[in-house]
Chains A and B, each alone.
Chain A
Amino acid sequence: MKQFLESEVFALSFTLLIYFLAQQLQNKLKLILLNPILVSSAIIIIFLLVFNINYPIYHEHVRLIEFFLKPAVVAMGVPLYQQLERIKKQTFIVLVCQFAGCISGILSVIVLAKLMGASKEIIISLAPKSVTVPIAMEVSKMTGGIPALTVAVVFIVGIFGAVFGYTILKIARVTNPISQSLAMGTAAHGIGTSRSMSISSNYGVYSSLGLILNGIFTSALTPFILKLLEHWL
């Protein structure tokens, strides 16, 4: 039995099945906190612990799944191209606000975490927290953070942004719908984008543009900013 539970086919099909069920649950209940990734990760963790299966064995078998993260980032080139064609005249404005959002996000999280006494390793893992998981993980790996911790923080940020984002923007008097949806994608990546998508597909388009552009800026700027602040951390 254990041999079966530790086989590659089982690991793959089990992960697929659990994720599928978690997705169905989300479709039924529509609660942001019941995110399919959170739910299925939790179930799989419990399963591995209960049946005493070593994580390295499981991980080796599901590497095929993780492998698709990189081509998925490449695939973002398609919506990036399509949306840049749409916003032609506004491209400069969008790039400037993305740049400002990116820098303020990286700097503020580093400074706040440091002031609250977080260790260097944690601060590095927090730096790319605003961008979509596959990019944040790459940046975390590249700069010497803990990719798994980065994934967790990216989730916290996404859920926080999706739940409170539009309210915060209203309080801050950001009323223009394009500015709002761009900010949602920039700050809260995919989870914020699906929140915008639920308002209208037009909002979703600008959010996903924010998500992609902030991903590019963050991967370019994070190593640089961390290097500048190295001695202080």
Chain B
Amino acid sequence: MIRQCAIIFGCLAIGELIVMITGIKLPSSIIGMLLLTIMLKIGWIKVDWVKGFSDFLLNNLAFFFVPAGVSLMFYFNLIKASFWPIVVSASISTVVVLVVTGWVHQLMRKRQSNETVS
């Protein structure tokens, strides 16, 4: 368990360090995630070494954002004032993302399978 925590927090720490040194506009946690993926890929880290802790974090992800949910109490007025722009633009944009992602993937897949046939 200690090794599991050390690896995940270590990746996060290196991510923070990279952000501090380079000033890159990317969250440290994303850099940490990419580092972990790369180290798994080149085999420096085995999945078993982190699996327990990463499963714990991901299975309980929703619980960790309860405090953020509670902080919403300060923004009721703001949300009420812009309720429709927020809900309508977010919903329509979600339809756009669904359709664009689905279409692009489906089209490219068809093209790829046609190429392999011919």
Contact = CB atoms under 8 A, between A and B. Distances in A.
B67 A63 contact: yes
Contact of B63 (A19, A151, A161): A19
Interface string A103-141: 011001100110011110010001001101111011100
Given A65-B63, A70-B28, A101-B104, A161 B92 contact: no
A101 B100 contact: yes
B65 A45 contact: no
| Among A71, A133, A156: residue with most chain B CB under 10 A | A71
A129 B93 CA distance: 9
Contacts of A139: 27
A42 B68 CA distance: 12
A66 to B, nearest CB: 5
A148 interface: yes
Interface residues of A, number: 102
Contact of B65 (A133, A186, A220): A133
Contacts of B112: 90, 93
Nearest to A210: B101
B15 to A, nearest CB: 7
Interface in A161-177: 161, 165, 168-169, 172, 174-176
A180 interface: yes
B17 interface: no
Interface in A62-78: 62-63, 65-66, 68-78
B104 A138 contact: no
B8 A160 contact: no
A10 interface: no
B109 A179 contact: yes
A169 B102 contact: yes
B109 A19 contact: no
A196 B105 CA distance: 17
Interface stretch (A1-9, A32-40, A197-205): A32-40
Interface residues of B, number: 71
Interface of A is mostly: helix
Interface in B90-112: 90-106, 108-109, 112
A152 B70 CA distance: 10
Given A129-B93, A129-B94, 18 more contacts: A37-B69, A41-B66, A48-B70, A71-B9, A72-B64, A75-B58, A78-B58, A80-B33, A84-B41, A93-B112, A96-B104, A97-B100, A97-B108, A101-B101, A104-B100, A148-B74, A149-B78, A172-B102
Interface of A: 15-16, 19, 36-38, 40-41, 44-45, 48-49, 55, 58-59, 62-63, 65-66, 68-82, 84, 90, 93-94, 96-98, 100-102, 104-105, 108-109, 112-113, 116-119, 122, 126, 129-130, 132-135, 137-139, 142, 146-149, 151-153, 156-157, 160-161, 165, 168-169, 172, 174-176, 178-180, 182-184, 186-188, 190, 210, 212, 215-216, 219-220, 223-224
Interface of B: 8-9, 11-12, 15, 25-30, 32-37, 40-41, 47, 50-51, 53-54, 57-58, 60-75, 78-79, 82, 84-106, 108-109, 112
